[in-house]
């Protein structure tokens, strides 16, 4: 593996943020909480809105303008990871049923693109969510208006810790973990496995490409499990290192 390193709290204006590097790939994630009305079909839930941005800055392959297909696919992937893994219970984001809830905008911006974007994004998202602190909000009974108490900040309740591991597959014989951009373009297929701390799979995302047998899949999954331990330890360590100061 190339080395992963999350730095947290790098953006002061966001509620939570993290910068993650895997090899040369650098991704920054900012989380901004806003108050909104909960969705009418699920009045006790909040929203999480992820967005992955691949600006022309990160690689010459991206052009300015509307989000590229890859960026849209990555956004959808992150949204699916959030949904599937229940990283945050959406019920926790509700302040008052049917009236007020949080919407978390998770903006992930790639600063340097050198392959393995999805892994980096997931680590960044997780680190940023763990780092995020939202102010306390109460609803004033008389005026029916929300009052934000910015002195009281509390962490989000991160219930699951999904970590993803990407593999590049070359004709079903060679599997490479954590591919760089060259490896990604040369490979015949990509696969991303997302696991949580109970060794359950949240996602097995393989968008086409050359075929893979069940045994190979299993290999990759066990690699992903070990990878999960590695990364979650890393995040924990970084998080712990903050706590005493605050």
Partner 1 sequence: MRDGPNTHVGSMMDVAVSPVLALRKFGCEQSLLSRPDGSSSFVQGDTSVLAGVYGPAEVKISKEIYDRATLEVMIQPKVGLSGVRERAQEHCVRQTCEAALLSTLHPRSSLSLILQIIHDDGSLLSCCLNAACMALMDAGLPMSCLFCGVTCAIEQDGHIVTDPTSQQEKESRALMTFAIDSAERRVMMSSTRGSFSVNELQQCVALSQRASEEIFQFYRDSVRRRYSKTL
Partner 2 sequence: MRETPLSNCERQFLLKAIEEKKRLDGRQTYDYRNIKITFGTDYGCCVVDVGKTRVLAQVSCELVAPKDNRPTEGIMFINLELSPMASPAFESGRQSELHVTLNRLLERCLRNSKCLDTESLCVVSGEKVWKIRIDVHVLNHDGNIMDAASIAAITALCHFRRPDVGIQGEEVTIYTPEERDLIPLSIYHMPVSVSFSFFQQGTFLLVDPCEREERVMDGLLVIAMNKHREICSIQSSGGIMLLKEQVLRCNKIASVKVCEITELINKALENDRKVKKEGGKFGFAESMAKERITALKSEIAPVEMIDIEEKAEDIICRTGAPCDTVPSPVVRAPGTGQVGEGLQNAWGLDEVEEEEEEEDDIEQGGPEKQPESETITSKKGDVVVISDSEEEEVVILHQGVEVKDFREEMSSGQKQATSASKKKKKKRKLAH
Question: Is 14 an interacting residue with respect to partner 2 (CB under 8 A)?
Answer: no
Residues 132 and 149: their CA atoms lie apart, in Å, by 16
CA 4 to each of CA 34, 119, 121, 172: distance values in angstroms, whole numbers, following the listed order = 30, 10, 12, 27
Q: Which is nearer to partner 1, 136 or 199 (CB)?
A: 199
In angstroms, how far apart are the furthest CA atoms of the chain?
Answer: 68
Pick from 189, 130, 195: nearest CA to 164 = 195
Whichever of 9 and 172 has its CB closer to partner 1, that residue is 172
Query: Smallest distance, Å, CB 167 to partner 2?
Result: 8
Site stretch for partner 2 (CB under 8 A), options 15-23, 44-52, 68-76, 100-108: 15-23
Q: Measured between alpha carbons, how far is 160 from 85 in angstroms, rounded to an integer?
A: 7
DSSP 2: P
Q: Which does 211 bind (CB under 5 to 8 A by kind): partner 2, partner 1, none?
A: partner 1
Distances (CA, A) of 60 to 20, 57, 63, 113: 21, 7, 7, 9
Pick from 57, 177, 181, 204 the residue near partner 2 by CB under 8 A.
177
Please tell me whether residue 238 binds partner 2 under the rule CB under 8 A.
Answer: yes
Is residue 69 a contact point for partner 2 (CB under 8 A)? no
Q: Is 43 in the site for partner 2 (CB under 8 A)?
A: no
Closest to partner 1 by CB, 200 or 233: 200
């Amino acid at each position: 593996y190339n080395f992963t390193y999350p730095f947290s709290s790098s953006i002061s204006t966001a509620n939570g943020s993290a910068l993650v590097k895997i090899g040369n790939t650098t991704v920054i994630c900012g989380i901004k909480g806003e108050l909104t009305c909960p969705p009418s079909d699920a009045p006790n839930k909040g929203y999480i809105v992820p967005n992955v941005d691949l600006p022309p800055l990160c690689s010459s392959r991206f052009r300015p303008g509307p989000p590229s297909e890859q960026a849209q696919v990555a956004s959808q992937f992150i949204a699916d990871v959030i949904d599937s893994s229940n990283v945050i219970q959406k019920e926790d984001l509700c302040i008052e049923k049917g009236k007020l809830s949080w919407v978390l905008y998770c903006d992930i911006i790639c600063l340097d693109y050198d392959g393995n974007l999805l892994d980096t994004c997931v680590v960044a998202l997780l680190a940023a969510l763990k780092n995020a602190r939202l102010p306390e909000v109460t609803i004033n009974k008389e005026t029916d208006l929300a009052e934000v108490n910015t002195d009281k900040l509390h962490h989000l309740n991160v219930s699951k810790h999904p970590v993803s591991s990407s593999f590049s597959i070359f004709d079903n014989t060679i599997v490479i973990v954590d591919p760089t951009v060259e490896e990604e373009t040369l490979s015949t297929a990509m696969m991303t496995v997302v696991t949580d701390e109970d060794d359950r799979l949240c996602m097995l995302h393989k968008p086409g490409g050359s075929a893979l047998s069940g045994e190979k899949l299993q290999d990759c999954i066990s690699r992903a499990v070990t990878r999960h331990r590695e990364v979650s330890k890393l995040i924990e360590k970084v998080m712990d290192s903050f706590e005493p100061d605050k």
